[in-house]
Amino acid sequence: MVLKFRVLVLQALHGLSLQQTDYLVRDRLSWMRFCGLGPGDAVPDANTLWDFREALIEASMLDRLFERLDEAISDAGYLPMSGQIVDATLVAAPKQRNTIEEKKAIKEGRIPDDWKDNPAKLAQKDRDARWTVKYTKARPREDGSLPAVDLAIPAFGYKNHISIDRKHGVIRRHKVTDAAAADGARLREGLIDLNNTAGEVWADSAYRSQANEEFLDKLGRTSRIHRKKPMGKPMPEAMRRANAAKSTVRARVEHVFAEQKDRMNLFVRTIGLARAHAVITVANMAYNMKRWCWLVRRPVAV
C-alpha cells in the first residue's frame, strides 16, 4: 500500500498519466529509490494504481491522509502561524463536446436520453465538470493605451480552493468543486484553519461579502479581504493603498498555484468530481511534501 501511494505521489509531482508513471518508475533509478524498489522488483502497473486510487476514494481516505500529513508537518515544528491566505485556481480537464440539449440536461442534473442507451459513451462523459470564464487584464496597446474590455478566457474543469498559512506557505485546508462554483461562498465551507496561531485572513475581493465578514467575526478572525471598487466610480486612494498593502501578503498564495501548474503540470485526466477530488488532493499533498523539504533545507537566519 505504501509503495502504491508513493507512486501516486510521483505521478502528482510530475503531472503524468498512470501509464507514464508506471513506465518511468521502471526506467529511472532515482524513482525506484524513492519507492524503495530495486532494478528487479515488481512495479505496480497502471491498472493496479487505478484500482488502488479507487479504493482510497471509496474509503474516503484521502482527506484523512491530507490531515495526517498536516499533523506531521506541525509536529515537526512548522505550525500554522501568522494568519492564513485563501484563494482558488482553475484546474483544467478534458473538454466535453456536447450539444445544446445535452448541456441543458446536465445542468438540470439529468442524463441525456441518447447516453442512457450507450454505456460506453456515458462512461466517457464528465457530468460534474463545468465551464466558466476567467477574466484577465488585457495588455496595453502599442501606443500605451488600455483596451476598453479585459480578456475573457473560457475554461473547463474544476477548482482547487486552498488556505495556506502565511508563515510557512503550507496548504492547511482545501476543497475541490466544479469550475463554475463561486469562490466567496467556499470560505464558509471549511477553508478557515482554526489552528492558526494568528487571526488574520487574507483573500481577494471575490471573497468580500457581508456573509463572509460576519462568519469571520463569529470565529474571532480579522478580515484582511480586499475591498471592491465602488460600481461606476473610481477607487478611492485610501482603498487603493489598503488593497495594495494586502496584496503584498495575499500574493504568496499565487506561488503555490504557480508551482502546481508549472512544475507539477496539474491537470485532471479523470472523469467525475470524486476522482478529480482525489487527483487534486494528492497534488496538494505532494506540494506540501515539497514545501516541507524546502523548509527543512533552507538556511537558518542568524
pLDDT in tens, 77-134: 999 999 999 999 999 999 988 888 888 888 888 888 888 888 888 888 999 999 998 8
Secondary structure (3-state) at 296: helix
- Does 228 share its domain with 282? yes
pLDDT tens readout for residues 45-91: 999 999 999 999 999 999 999 999 999 999 999 999 999 999 999 99
Count the domains in the chain: 2
Q: Does residue 261 form part of some domain?
A: yes
For residues 224 and 208, is the Cβ–Cβ distance under 8 A? no
292 or 152: which leads in pLDDT: 292
pLDDT for position 2: 93
Q: Which range of residues forms the domain containing residue 30?
A: 1-59
Asked if 87 and 41 sit in the same domain, the reply is no
For residues 6 and 86, membership in a common domain is answered with: no
Does residue 238 lie within any of the structural domains?
yes
Q: Is residue 253 part of a domain?
A: yes
Give a yes or no: residue 215 inside a domain.
Answer: yes
Cell of residue 120, nine digits:
460506453
* Dihedral, CA of residue 80, residue 81, residue 86 and residue 87, to nearest 10: -80
- Answer yes or no: do 166 and 21 share one domain: no
Do the domain assignments include residue 270? yes
Q: Same domain, yes or no, for 159 and 272?
A: yes
**Cβ contacts of 169 within 8 Å, gap of 6 or more:** 252, 255, 256, 291
159 and 40 both lie in a single domain: no
Residues 84 and 23 in one domain: no
- Tell me the C-alpha distance between 138 and 213, whole Å: 31
- The pLDDT score that the predictor gives to residue 144 is 67
Would 182 be classed as within a structural domain? Answer: yes
Q: Indicate whether 4 and 84 sit together in one domain.
A: no
Q: Count the neighbouring beta carbons within 10 Å of the beta carbon of residue 295.
A: 16
Claim to verify: residue 52 and residue 85 sit in the same structural domain: no
183, part of any domain: yes
Residues 190 and 248 in one domain: yes
- Please classify residue 136 by burial: count the beta carbons closer than 10 Å to its beta carbon, then call 0-12 exposed, 13-18 middle and 19+ buried: exposed
| 147 in any annotated domain | no
- Clarify whether residues 180 and 266 are in a common domain: yes
Q: Does residue 288 share a domain with residue 185?
A: yes
Task: Give the tens place of pLDDT for each residue, 32-46.
Answer: 999 999 988 999 999
